[in-house]
Amino acid sequence: MKALVKQHAEPGLWLQDVPEPETGPGDVLIKVLRTGICGTDLHIRSWDAWARQAVTTPRVLGHEFVGEVAAVGSDVQDIEVGDTVSGEGHLVCGKCRNCLAGRRHLCRSTVGLGVGRDGAFAEYVALPASNVWVHRTQVDLDIAAIFDPFGNAVHTALTFPLVGEDVLITGAGPIGIMAAAVARHAGARNVVITDVSESRLELARKAGATLALNVSAHGIDEAQRQLGLKEGFDVGLEMSGRPEAMRDMVDNMTHGGRIAMLGLPAQEFAVDWAKIVTSMITVKGIYGREMYETWYAMTVLLEAGLDLTPVITGSYGFRDFEAAFDEAATARSGKIILDWTR
C-alpha cells in the first residue's frame, strides 16, 4: 500500500510502498479515506529538535483520519466491516494507576499514532478496537477526519464552565478557531481570539468569535474596553505556546480566572507568578482528549448544529502531499485535508 513515510532522519517525507499493517484479534483494520495535516506532522517533516527526539525512522506519519472498517479481529465486538470510523491517536498502557482508574487521558505511557507507532497517512491503518470511534450519525468526512484536533479544542474549551463567561483565546490556529466556535456554541458571552495572522483571524470571525484581535497592532486591554469588560476575562484558553501570549493572558484575567493551556511551548519561559498568585488564577495543562467523554461531546455538539466548516481551507489528493504540507505550514491556512481516495 502507499504511505507517507519518514524514511530518513533528515528533513522531508517520502511517499512509498509499504506492507499493510498487521492486525491481532483485538485490532481493527481501517481503509483510510481522508486525513488532516497537524502541526505535529509539520514538525516531523521539518525534522526539528522535538521530532528528532520523538520519532525513530522509518515511521508512517499521521494521526487525524476518517476511514471505513475493512476487517475486525476475532475478539472485536460492536464494530462492523463498513463502519465509518475515526481514531483516538493516543494509545494508552491500560496498566498504570490512571488507566486502571478510567482516567486514560492521564496515562503516563501514552504512545502517539504516527509518532511512536505507524500512523494513518496510508491506504490502511490498524488500531486496537478500544481506540476506534464509530460515527453512528451522519458526519461530513472532512470534519470526521479532524476529530482528533477537534477533540483538543473541545477538551480545552469545556475544561471550565463557560456559560455567560467572557473567554480569551490566544492563538487562532485551527484548534483555537474550533475552540472559539465551541465556546460560543456552549454559551460563552464574549469570545475574544488573538493572533498575528489576519487570514486566520478572519477564519475565527467566520467561526463565531465575538472579536478577533491582531495583537501585532492592538493590546488585549483594547478588546476589554471595546466589549465593556471591567475586570478581565473569566476563562483563558492558551493555544499558541508563545511566552508573550501567556503573559498577555495572565495580565488580562479576572481575579479567580481559570486558564486551560493546550499550546506547547518550545522551551521554558518566565511568567509573572506573583500575579498568578495574587489574582488567584488556576492554570491547567491539557493534552489530548478525554477517552471517551470528549468524543461523545464532539459528536453531540455537531448533532446540535456546531459548524466547523470555516476551519477547513484546503483539500489535496495524497500524491500532492508536498503542496498540501506547504500550505499547512503557512500561517494563513486553516485545516488542510489529504484525500486517500484520489
105-134 positions binding Zn ion, by CB under 5 A: 107
For position 96 contacting Zn ion by CB under 5 A, the verdict is: yes
Q: 196, exposed or middle or buried, with CB in 10 Å at 0-12, 13-18, 19+?
A: middle
Choose, by CB under 5 A, the member of 55, 92, 177, 301 that binds Zn ion: 92
Buried b (16+ CB within 10 A) or exposed e, 57-81: eebbbbbbbbbebbebbeebeebee
In the residue annotation, 43 being an active-site residue is answered as yes
Q: Is 73 annotated as a binding residue?
A: no
Is 281 known as a binding-site position? no
Alpha carbon 337 to chain centroid, angstroms: 14
What track of x and - describes contact with Zn ion for positions 242 through 271 (by CB under 5 A)?
Answer: ------------------------------
- What the block records as the C-alpha cell of 40 is 505535529
Closest residue to bound Zn ion by CB: 38
Report which of 91, 125, 116 is spatially closest to residue 105, judged by C-alpha positions: 91
Q: How far apart are CA 145 and CA 301, in angstroms?
A: 16
Evaluate whether 298 touches 150 at the Cβ level (below 8 Å): yes
Residues 312 and 337: their CA atoms lie apart, in Å, by 8
Q: Is 135 in the active site?
A: no
* Residue nearer to Zn ion on the CB measure, 99 or 249: 99
Rounded distance between C-alpha atoms, residue 224 and residue 210, angstroms = 12
Shortest distance in whole angstroms from residue 27 CB to Zn ion = 19
Binding mask 191-230 for Zn ion (x = CB under 5 A): ----------------------------------------
Residue with cell 484479534: 25
Assign 139 to helix, strand or coil.
coil
Nearest CA to 258 among 249, 268, 270? 249
| CA dihedral for 183, 312, 45, 108, sign (positive or negative) | positive
- Residue 99, interface with Zn ion (CB under 5 A)? yes
175 in a labelled binding site? yes
- Catalytic one of 8, 23, 35, 40: 40
Residue 270 CB, shortest distance to Zn ion, in Å, is 28
The window from 57-65, 243-251, 282-290, 325-333 that contacts Zn ion (CB under 5 A) reads: 57-65
Question: Residues interacting with Zn ion, by CB under 5 A?
Answer: 38, 64, 92-93, 96, 99, 107, 149
Residues marked active site are found at: 40, 43
Binding region? 38, 63-64, 93, 96, 99, 107, 175, 195, 200, 262-264, 286-287
Binding-site residue set for Zn(2+): 38, 63-64, 93, 96, 99, 107
